Amino acid sequence: MSARLLTALLRAPDEIADRCERPEGMRELALTSLVCLLLGAAVFGGVVGSFRGGMQIAFSAVKLPLGLLATLVVSVPAFHALSVGFGGRPRFNTVAALTLSAAARAALVLLGFAPLLWLAVDRGLGYHASVLLASSMYLGAGLAALGIILKGLGGSVRAWATAAACGLVFFGVLGQTAWMLRPFFGRPAQTTVPFVRAREGSFADALKRSSKSAVGIYDRARSQQGAIDAAGRSVESSENDL
């Protein structure tokens, strides 16, 4: 791990993008990026988990870097295909190094944001507000990562189009990976803290459901079943009272 590379990751995306083009020193760059990614994501994950506390801190500290790495591993071949498809001619190792460096930069930004989130949670910020705050921090980190990607792709209109397509792939895969690994925040009312929750559909299903709910369209079968279950529980508790 090199202090010089760490500084370059944060302050010199041009230099990082140049280094990704050359095989000399690429392993050192990749290793430094990997360490930054693991450290930054783990610390941020730990802070996210501190909302619930207890084992959630450790679980989220493990799951956040795991989710990010799994996303990169799945997405990088797609990124290379998209880069070539949009008319660029980058080598696969260049795309891999660029992606890893960009993710490392994002993780370092998350590391910087972590104390702010911690302060907010410590000051009693609610669940939904905390989720929104963390999401906006992810967005900020993503924008920082974009800096390296655009420098690496050349900064032209084609580069923007390629970056946008890669971004769609990335967020799709990240969303599904995060869905499979949830919960990250956890609810304080939870008595037990599972490492991962049971699968309840996919990220796409959840997005679809949430989008419909946001415009007042509820799934009738589910809402009726939910009402029946709630009624059943209330009858049962009345009988018990009696």
Binding residues vs another protein (CB under 8 A): 23-28, 30-31, 34, 69, 72-74, 76-77, 91-93, 96-97, 99-100
Region for 55 from its dihedrals, namely left if φ exceeds 0, alpha if ψ lies in -120 to 50, beta otherwise: alpha
The dihedrals phi and psi of 178, each to the nearest 5 degrees, come to -65, -40
d(CA 28, CA 39) in angstroms, rounded, equals 17
C-beta closer to another protein: residue 79 or 138: 79
C-beta closer to another protein: residue 35 or 120: 35
Judge contact between 165 and 173, C-beta under 8 A.
no
Query: Shortest Cβ distance from residue 61 to another protein (Å)?
Result: 17
d(CA 91, CA 143) in angstroms, rounded, equals 24
Torsion angle, CA of 144/58/177/17, rounded to 10 degrees? 30
C-beta closer to another protein: residue 73 or 139: 73
**Residues present in the chain in total:** 242
d(CA 89, CA 112) in angstroms, rounded, equals 34
Residue in 176, 101, 184, 111 with CA at minimum distance from that of residue 146:
101
Judge contact between 100 and 41, C-beta under 8 A.
no
Query: Shortest Cβ distance from residue 103 to another protein (Å)?
Result: 10
C-beta closer to another protein: residue 37 or 61: 37
Query: Shortest Cβ distance from residue 26 to another protein (Å)?
Result: 4
Query: Shortest Cβ distance from residue 31 to another protein (Å)?
Result: 8
Query: Shortest Cβ distance from residue 74 to another protein (Å)?
Result: 8
Q: Tell me how crowded residue 15 is: count the other CB atoms within 10 A of its CB.
A: 15
Residue in 178, 152, 165 with CA at minimum distance from that of residue 71:
178
C-beta closer to another protein: residue 39 or 69: 69
Query: Shortest Cβ distance from residue 100 to another protein (Å)?
Result: 6
C-beta closer to another protein: residue 37 or 163: 37
